[in-house]
Amino acid sequence: MARNERTASQKADFKRELTEVVPHLRAFARGLCGRPDMADDLVQETLLKAWAAQERFEPGTSMRAWTFVILRNAYLTDMRRNRFRGEYDENVAERLLTQPAGQEEPIHLSDMHRALLTLPPERREALLLVGAGGFSYEEAATICGCAVGTIKSRVGRARAALNTMLEDGSIPQRAIGDDVAHRAILEELDEVAAGRGETSPTR
């Protein structure tokens, strides 16, 4: 197993960096799958996988980007196994609710989250990475294994959808609630997972 065994100090460095990105992994996971308990399960799975694969981590590169790839892959796998039904926990979202600072009309984070969960997964993750995680388009493209133009297009579409939903107040009551939408999402996920999801430059 240990072809390229790390020294104790390298392992310590790895663990420290891994520990530091846990809050970000939790935030990304929660944005992806909506349910805090499932999101945390996903992060735990990610941490174990990252630890097991630590020989493949290039010291000095971004631990956050590296672990996000692992988390994303675990999410896609679990999603296809139907573990996440895109369920939305209203109570938890209400607890998240805070007042955006200095904003004329506060947007409830619960609305924000619900709107986010209605987006197709690959647009949701693109927007999360760029709009919330602060990754550059280039970094997001690397994480998602697609072209920069694809990320830009996904973020653009996600933004347009959120503009419509949040500015016009037309958020669906239940995100991904019905079977039809869910099936469509799973089909889309298969495309994404197979590397066919919009990977050619759009338009």
Partner 1 sequence: MHTDRDRGTGAARGGDAKSKSGENPGWAQGLRQLYDSVVDEPLPDSFKDLLAKLDDKS
Contact 181, 174 (CB under 8 A): no
Q: Does 134 bind partner 1 (CB under 8 A)?
A: yes
Residue 54's SS3 state is helix
Contact 202, 153 (CB under 8 A): yes
Contact 30, 21 (CB under 8 A): no
Q: How far is the CB of 31 from partner 1 (least distance, A)?
A: 6
φ, ψ at 76 (rounded to 5°): -60, -40
Rounded to whole angstroms, the Cα distance separating 58 from 134 reads 21
**Site for partner 1 (CB under 8 A): which residue of 86, 121, 133, 197?**
133
Q: Does 91 bind partner 1 (CB under 8 A)?
A: no
Q: Which of residues 92-121 bind partner 1 (CB under 8 A)?
A: 96, 98, 100-101, 103-105, 107, 109, 112-113, 115-116
End-to-end C-alpha distance for the chain, whole angstroms: 45
Q: Does 13 bind partner 1 (CB under 8 A)?
A: no
Q: Which two tokens stand for residue 147?
A: 């072209």
Q: Does 74 bind partner 1 (CB under 8 A)?
A: no
Stretch that binds partner 1, among 26-34, 80-88, 181-189, 195-203 (CB under 8 A): 26-34
Stretch that binds partner 1, among 74-82, 131-139, 175-183, 192-200 (CB under 8 A): 131-139
Quick one: 85 or 159, whose CB is closer to partner 1? 159
Nearest to 178 by CA among 111, 93, 108, 88: 88
Rounded to whole angstroms, the Cα distance separating 131 from 19 reads 23
**Site for partner 1 (CB under 8 A): which residue of 10, 44, 73, 199?**
44
Q: Does 77 bind partner 1 (CB under 8 A)?
A: no
Rounded to whole angstroms, the Cα distance separating 23 from 92 reads 17
| Site residues (vs partner 1, CB under 8 A) | 11, 15, 17-24, 26-28, 30-31, 40, 43-44, 47-48, 51, 60-65, 96, 98, 100-101, 103-105, 107, 109, 112-113, 115-116, 127-128, 130-140, 155, 159, 162-163, 166-167
